[in-house]
Amino acid sequence: MIMVPLVNHHRENNKRHLSERKNSRALQICLGIESTAHTFGVSVVSHKEGKKLGSILSDVKNVYKAPPGSGIHPREASHHHAQVATEVLQQALQVARINIKEVNAIAYSEGPGLGPCLRVGAVVARALSSRYQKPLIPVHHGVAHIELGAMLTGLSDPVVLLVSGGHTMINAHSGGRWRIFGETLDLTIGQLVDQFGREAGHSSPCGQRIERLAQDSHEYISLPYSVKGNDVSFSGLLTAAKNLLHDGRSLSDLCYSMQETAFDMLAEVTERALAFTEKQEVLLVGGVAANNRLKEILSQMCLARKAKFASVPIGYSGDCGAQIAWTGLVGALSGASVPIERSKVHPSWRLDRVNIPWRN
Q: Which residues bind other proteins (CB under 8 A)?
A: 111-112, 115, 166-167, 172, 174-175, 177, 179-185, 188, 220, 222, 225, 227-231, 260-261, 264, 267-268, 271-272, 274-277, 296-298, 300-301, 304-305, 346-352
CA 265/CA 283 separation, integer angstroms = 16
Nearest-10 Cα torsion for 150, 151, 156, 160: 0
- 198/350 with CB nearer other proteins: 350
Min CB(94)–other proteins separation in Å: 35
DSSP secondary structure string for all residues of 194-209: HHHHHHTT--S--HHH
CA 168/CA 282 separation, integer angstroms = 15
Q: How far is CA 255 from CA 66, 147, 204, 341, in A?
A: 21, 31, 15, 48
Min CB(334)–other proteins separation in Å: 20
CA 246/CA 251 separation, integer angstroms = 10
CB-based contacts of 80, cutoff 8 Å, min separation 6: 40, 62, 64
Min CB(272)–other proteins separation in Å: 4
Min CB(33)–other proteins separation in Å: 20
Min CB(306)–other proteins separation in Å: 9
CA 93/CA 107 separation, integer angstroms = 14
- 48/186 with CB nearer other proteins: 186
Query: b/e string for 284-307 if b means 16 or more Cβ within 10 A?
Result: bbbbbbbbeebbebbbebbeeeeb
- 271/281 with CB nearer other proteins: 271
- 17/177 with CB nearer other proteins: 177
> Helices 251-277 and 292-305: crossing angle, nearest 10°?
30
- 74/115 with CB nearer other proteins: 115
Pairing type for strands 281-285 and 159-163 reads parallel
- 96/180 with CB nearer other proteins: 180
Min CB(339)–other proteins separation in Å: 20
- 62/235 with CB nearer other proteins: 235
- 103/294 with CB nearer other proteins: 294
Q: Is 95 exposed, middle or buried (0-12, 13-18, 19+ CB in 10 A)?
A: middle
CA 4/CA 17 separation, integer angstroms = 22
- Cα 99 to its chain centre, rounded Å, is 26
CA 319/CA 286 separation, integer angstroms = 7
Min CB(147)–other proteins separation in Å: 18
Min CB(68)–other proteins separation in Å: 27
